[in-house]
């Protein structure tokens, strides 16, 4: 049993890309699914789809690679953890890697990228950073 399911999902994506897999299955939770959809909106992963395998609910994340076979995600890291929550105001949300990356923020309007959160003027818990 793992204590941080979001970190587990991020590790699954990271290791699947390291070995060159085309897709990775993740146990379903609404928060993890929304994080994956945010990554899809920002262009870091391909299609995100729900699926059911026997009695378990899963969702599949298709991974993106460039023409050289390099993964679209160079690094993905957890910022806020169950033991230490990190909250930022909208003005404190900075660009990640000069604008090439994003951070995913849990706001009152749902999960948004740092760009979307700054535009709407919302702050919240910084879940992870991706570049």
| pLDDT 10s digits, 105-123 | 999 999 999 999 999 999 9
30-41 and 5-18 are packed helices; what angle lies between their axes, rounded to 10 degrees? 40
For the segment 5-15, what is each residue's pLDDT rounded down to a tens digit? 999 999 999 99
Find the CATH number of the domain harbouring 64. 3.30.1490.10
For the segment 83-108, what is each residue's pLDDT rounded down to a tens digit? 999 999 999 999 999 889 999 999 99
Q: Residue 14's domain spans which residues?
A: 5-130
Identify whether the C-beta of residue 60 lies closer than 8 Å to the C-beta of residue 51: yes
For the segment 15-47, what is each residue's pLDDT rounded down to a tens digit? 999 999 999 999 999 999 999 999 999 999 999
pLDDT at residue 53, as a whole number: 77
Counting the structural domains of the chain, the total is: 1
> Over 44-104, what HEC string results?
CEEEEEEEEECCEEEEEEEECECCCCCECCCCEEECCECCECCEECHHHCCCEHHHCEEEE
**Which of 110, 102, 38 is CA-nearest to residue 122?**
110
Q: How far apart are CA 94 and CA 92, in angstroms?
A: 6
Residue with tokens 């999960």: 111
pTM (2 d.p.): 0.91
């Amino acid at each position: 049993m793992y204590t941080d399911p979001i970190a587990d999902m991020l590790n699954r994506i990271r290791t699947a890309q390291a070995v060159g897999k085309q897709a990775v299955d993740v146990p379903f939770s609404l928060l993890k699914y929304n994080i994956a959809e945010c990554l899809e909106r920002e262009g870091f992963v391909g299609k995100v789809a729900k699926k059911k395998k026997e009695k378990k609910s899963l969702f599949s994340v298709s991974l993106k690679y460039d023409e050289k076979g390099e993964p679209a995600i160079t690094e993905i890291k957890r910022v806020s953890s169950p033991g230490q929550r990190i909250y930022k105001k909208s003005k404190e949300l900075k660009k990640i890697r000069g604008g090439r990356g994003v951070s995913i923020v849990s706001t009152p309007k749902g999960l948004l990228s740092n760009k979307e959160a700054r535009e709407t003027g919302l702050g919240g818990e910084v879940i992870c950073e991706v570049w």
